Amino acid sequence: MLTLGVMAVAWLLHGAIEGFLWEEFQQLGEWAPPTFTILVSALMYVVARSRRIPARTILHLALAYQVAVSFGVVFTQYWGAFAGFSADQIRGDTVGLSAVAVWMLVFTVLVPVRPRHAVIALLVSAAATPITYAIAARAGDAPVLPPSHFFWSLVFPYLVVAGVAYIMARIIYRLGQDVWRARELGSYRLERRLGQGGMGEVWRANHRMLARPAAVKLVSPAAVGDTPEALAEMLARFEREAQVTAELQSGHTVDVYDYGVTEDGRLYYVMELLDGIDLEHLVRRFGPLPSERVIHTLLQACDSLAEAHRRGLVHRDIKPGNIFLCKYAFKVDVVKVLDFGLAKHTRLRAADDVRLSQAEVIRGTPAYMAPELAMGEEAVDGRVDLYALGCVAYWLLTGSLVFDASSPAAMIVAHVRDEPVPPSRRSELPIPAELDELVLACLAKDRAARLQSAEHLASALAAVPLESPWTPARAAEWWRTHGLESSGPP
């Protein structure tokens, strides 16, 4: 932002000196362009110095500033400059490249905006000279040029400059990203990216003093929004996820160490680094699990949810991707429940909870969504998590979703209206009748017909008769056979 401020001051002084000290301008077309450049530069200086405007918003305004200065410079340099010329006298070397060409290159180097945004501003800036000349020609202050002459003299040179500037923008932006990732976030240094999704990235990091590995979750700038209100809302949601998760003490809930906001407005939080795989990828890679291992996994997830529900928290986004199966200390097949970003605190005042929720009708993942959540009901409780856990059990047992649907909307309708096929009818592996019934009980449309608590579900799961229980020895053998690399939370 300091660079933008300095650039704005430089153009402000340039406009003042060229416009009012070196020239005696009489007509509107003579004094208006430098006056415009001075005003927008003064405004850009104020914006760049502001601490209340998000960095992303300032960068977007900077692109508009680039375009505004380009037009101001071209009008100052070219307006009326070709009065009395004939079309034959107007050539590329006669017109020459204006200061806009230099401005486009300098701005690209000094202001590292996203390349896809930079190219738009560059193309509009490149159009400043041909647009100005066309206006002058229409006003009778410049000769009308044939189309080919106009293109090669006034358009093509600036397209070349825009192309060069775009390549520079890509290089500078990539270098800037690499430098930013090498910086420390608080006491943590980013080392290696573990995953990337729609909301952002997850990086492996190390504590600078403790040498403790951790996972850092970074929210993508695109997911934050461009307005101060969007940033404030996302920050509130991010803080809530960190604070909510930090309240939980179950050994099956991921630990959160820290959270914050970087200088350029990116949100992050630091959590324990997990060595293993989430249930989504586990089933996709290795197929459905035996019933005894499914029960072993669900019991641990119930432990995490039981504590959350007792504290008045409803997760609202239980799904295989948010349940991690990992090596932990000297144990294997340890479950960690992740991502309380959509958690609802049933003990908050309604106004407070609405204030911290995004403006969206439905929250959660359609394939794992309880009917009452799909219908947009606000008065939900822990039973929506138990419904979702039933969907997770279905996935683990069969390798299939509860319902096959062609779109998210169709999936939501199915959860509200359709009855599920028992998992035993969609799996080649043996599934005890008692487990079949428990999964269907979790998937009851009427929440009153479901199991009423995570503790109740855990007790019922523990009572399912099994021919061969899932033992630590079997788990250790599975991990030895399939030796998974550390991947961290998704």
Query: Looking at residue 322, which CATH number applies to its domain?
Result: 1.10.510.10
Which pLDDT belongs to residue 341?
55
- CATH at 237: 3.30.200.20
Q: What pLDDT, in 10s, does the model give residues 73-109?
A: 888 777 777 776 776 666 655 566 778 888 888 888 7
Average pLDDT over residues 205-232: 67
The percent of residues above 70 in pLDDT, for the chain, comes to 73
Give residue 353's pLDDT. 43
**Residue 363 reports pLDDT greater than 70:** no
Q: Which of 461, 305, 463 is nearest to 383 (CA)?
A: 305
285 and 224 assigned to the same domain: no
Torsion angle of the four alpha carbons 40, 43, 48, 54, in this order, in degrees rounded to the nearest 10: -110
Boundary-marking domain end, from 215, 244, 273:
273
Look up residue 73 and give its two tokens.
Answer: 């410079």
Helix (H, G, I), strand (E, B) or coil at 184: strand
Q: Which of 250, 273, 296 is the last residue of a domain?
A: 273
**pLDDT tier for residue 287 given thresholds of 50, 70 and 90:** very high
Residue 328 has pLDDT above 90, yes or no: no
Residue 307 sits in the same domain as residue 190: no
How large is the average pLDDT for residues 369-387? 83
* Cα–Cα dist 57/232, whole Å: 13
Confidence of residue 486 (pLDDT cuts 50, 70, 90): very low
Q: Give backbone dihedrals phi and psi of 258, rounded to 5 degrees, phi first.
A: -165, 165
Identify the pLDDT of residue 372.
83
Same domain for 134 and 22 = yes
Please give the Cα distance from 221 to 347 (Å, whole number): 31
Taking residues 354-363, what's their average pLDDT?
42
d(CA 270, CA 260): 9
Number of domains making up the chain: 3
Query: Residues 69, 37: one domain?
Result: yes
- 291 plus 328 within the same structural domain: yes
| Shared-domain flag, residues 114 and 141 | yes
> CB-based contacts of 419: which residues, under 8 Å, 6+ apart?
none
Tell me the pLDDT band of 223, cut-offs 50, 70 and 90: low
Mean pLDDT of the chain: 77
State yes or no: pLDDT of 426 exceeds 50: yes
Cα–Cα nearest to 277, from 268, 267, 289, 292: 289
Whether residues 467 and 332 share a domain: the answer is yes
Element at 126 (helix H, strand E)? helix 115-126
Domain identity same for 71 and 208 = no
The residue among 120, 154, 182 that closes a domain is 182
User: Which residue numbers are catalytic?
Assistant: 317
Predicted confidence at residue 352, as pLDDT, reads 42
C-alpha–C-alpha distance, residues 367 and 396, integer Å: 14
| Strands of 256-261's sheet in order across | 184-185, 188-197, 200-207, 213-219, 267-272, 256-261
CB atoms within 10 A of CB 160: 13
Above 70 in pLDDT, residue 18?
Answer: no
Whether residue 51 has pLDDT greater than 80 = no
Residues 6+ apart with CB under 8 A from 464: 291, 295, 432, 434, 435, 438
pLDDT at residue number 348? 46
Handedness of CA 311, 317, 320, 321 (dihedral sign): negative
Give residue-wise pLDDT tens across range 443-452: 998 888 888 8
Q: What pLDDT sits at residue 300?
A: 93
Buried b (16+ CB within 10 A) or exposed e, 453-488: bbeebbebbeebeeeeebeeebbeebbeeeebeebb
**Residue 220 banded pLDDT, cuts 50, 70, 90:** low
Residue 186 scores a pLDDT above 80: no
On whether both 212 and 328 belong to a single domain, the answer is: no
- Label residue 283 exposed, middle or buried (CB < 10 Å: 0-12, 13-18, 19+): buried
For residue 222, give every residue at least 6 positions away whose Cβ sits within 8 Å of its Cβ, in sequence order, or none. Answer: none
Are 360 and 433 part of one and the same domain?
Answer: yes
Q: For the segment 299-308, what is each residue's pLDDT rounded down to a tens digit?
A: 999 999 998 8
Q: What is the band of 37 on the pLDDT scale with cuts at 50, 70, 90?
A: confident
pLDDT band of residue 297 (cuts 50, 70, 90) is very high
Q: What is the mean pLDDT of residues 25-39?
A: 63
DSSP 186-215: TTEEEEEEEEEETTEEEEEEEETTT--EEE
Q: Are residues 215 and 233 located together in one domain of the fold?
A: yes
Structure confidence at residue 483 (pLDDT): 73
Q: Are residues 216 and 166 in the same domain?
A: no
The pair of structure tokens assigned to 37 is 């450049």
Give yes or no for residue 356 having a pLDDT over 50.
no
Question: What span, in angstroms and rounded, lies between the C-alpha atoms of 435 and 279?
Answer: 19
Print the domain residue range for 197.
183-273
- The most confident of the ranges 17-21, 57-61, 218-222, 237-241 is 57-61
Concatenating the DSSP letter of every residue in 460-487 gives HHHTS--SS---HHHHHHHHHHH-PPP-
Work out the percent of the chain whose per-residue pLDDT is above 90: 17
Q: Per mean pLDDT, which range of 247-251, 363-367, 395-399 is the poorest?
A: 363-367
- What 8-state DSSP symbol labels residue 89? G
pTM over 0.75: no
Segment 129-147 shows an average pLDDT of 84
**Mean of pLDDT values over 471-479:** 90
